[in-house]
Amino acid sequence: MNLNPVILSIPIFFALMSIELVYEAITKKRTYRLNDAITNINLGTLNQITGIFSKIINIGIYTVIFELFAFTTLPANWLTFIILFLLYDLCFYWSHRLAHQVSLFWGGHVVHHQSEDFNLTVALRQSSTAFIWSFPFYIPLALIGFDPLQFVTVGAFNLLYQFWIHTEHVKKIGWLEHILNTPSHHRVHHGRDPKYIDKNYAGVFIIWDKMFGTFKEEEERPTYGITKPVNSWNPVYANFAHYIDLFHYVKQSKSWSDTKNMLFKQPGWLPEYLGGVQTPKEVSGEFQKYNADISFIWAKVYIFIQFIVMLLVVSYFLFNNAEFDGITKGLFVAWIVYSAVMFGSLFETRNKKIIGLEIFRLLTIPAGVTGLIILGYGLPEWLIILSGIFSLLNLVFVVWIFRKMFSD
């Protein structure tokens, strides 16, 4: 059983998102779009899956530094927990700030800002590569002597706090606005308006922004997203879009100095022969969000049902992955990534070839269940029949949907 507090909080995340949706149904204020929300959660899913492997590396490095190079060994008690919580948040501030100010690091964080909506699903929209650039900022905590288990626990609670601040439905919360990072402060951080860019980096405590001169009060409603929209529902592409752009420009570099500047100066820095520094521009008129979508309502129903099934598989995997061998883990990851990419493709395309790819995905469901039972992972045998019936019904459903779409 996975005892990671973030994994254990997944049911709470979805309960709060459901409450937010009910509230929107009552107030008629919409901040959700199905295509965007599913993509956000898909990116969170990929983040948690890659986290299974990346955390082994990060925690391993932290533990080695702690055991070999720590100046002292601090006791793990409530006092050191509070101190570590404050220091961890300070490290988060600088990690987060540099992720916005260094183009290479931005590639690991931009994923979180790509959504042009602002709701609780955006909190789950996390990068699968950010750990590469962010982890070194926390090494001082190992050198100081904070216990690795306490470090992991504090990090999880820091991340959990940041979930609730991704909403437009909480305005101001009184005097706490002066101390804590709040929805109002974080809406500013997600704005692509020039005056909001590179502001309010805080994780939990907004005091860091006020101390280091990066605080901005919320004025008019921000325009959400990034200055160069990713314009895709493909979660794998979303993770690598900025790196792809950087690689494209670096290939055209005429000097090592220009290459270094493109990688380590602010996002958008380019030499004059490639167009010069790209500065954010004011949003003029009505902002048009990227909204590639399927108009046929039953196609949306189909995608949503498949998405729920994928989430059930993801939950089973995240809670039980310690029981699986390397090959089984790899097959789970491959199926989940394939499914997430397929959902984005179904929203975006009317290419008939996609039906074959989706039929193949459906066939892997009963095949995968059968394989897990044969390998002795404790699933009931009746699940083979149920998954087979589910896949057969969905094969009929998907063929009908695509015939309907392509005949229009």
Average pLDDT over residues 164-168: 97
Q: Which two tokens stand for residue 399?
A: 């063929």
What is the pLDDT confidence band of residue 90, given thresholds at 50, 70 and 90? very high
- DSSP assignment of 153-168 equals HHHHHHHHHTTTT--S
Q: What local confidence, expressed as pLDDT, does residue 316 receive? A: 92
Q: Express as a percent the part of the chain with pLDDT over 70.
A: 98
Least confident of 89-93, 207-211, 214-218, 369-373: 369-373
**Cα(61)–Cα(362) distance, integer angstroms:** 40
Average pLDDT, the chain: 93
Average pLDDT over residues 262-270: 96
Q: Which two tokens stand for residue 169?
A: 């439905």
Which of 294, 267, 113 is closest to 190 using CA atoms?
Answer: 113
282 backbone dihedrals φ, ψ, rounded to 5°: -60, 145
Least confident of 20-29, 138-147, 204-213, 276-285: 276-285
Q: What local confidence, expressed as pLDDT, does residue 349 receive? A: 78
Identify the residue with better confidence: 172 or 351.
172
Query: What is the domain partition of the chain in residue ranges?
Result: 5-172, 235-274, 297-407
What angle do the packed helices 354-374 and 382-407 form, to 10 degrees? 180
Global confidence as pTM: 0.94
Using the predicted structure, report yes or no on whether residue 407 has a pLDDT greater than 80: no
Identify the residue with better confidence: 272 or 282.
272
Q: What local confidence, expressed as pLDDT, does residue 255 receive? A: 96
Q: What local confidence, expressed as pLDDT, does residue 408 receive? A: 59
Using the predicted structure, report yes or no on whether residue 1 has a pLDDT greater than 60: no
AA identity, residue 374: I
277-336: pLDDT as tens digits:
999 888 877 789 999 998 889 999 999 999 999 999 999 999 888 889 889 999 999 999
Average pLDDT over residues 240-252: 96
Using the predicted structure, report yes or no on whether residue 398 has a pLDDT greater than 70: yes
Which of 225, 271, 267 is closest to 99 using CA atoms?
Answer: 267
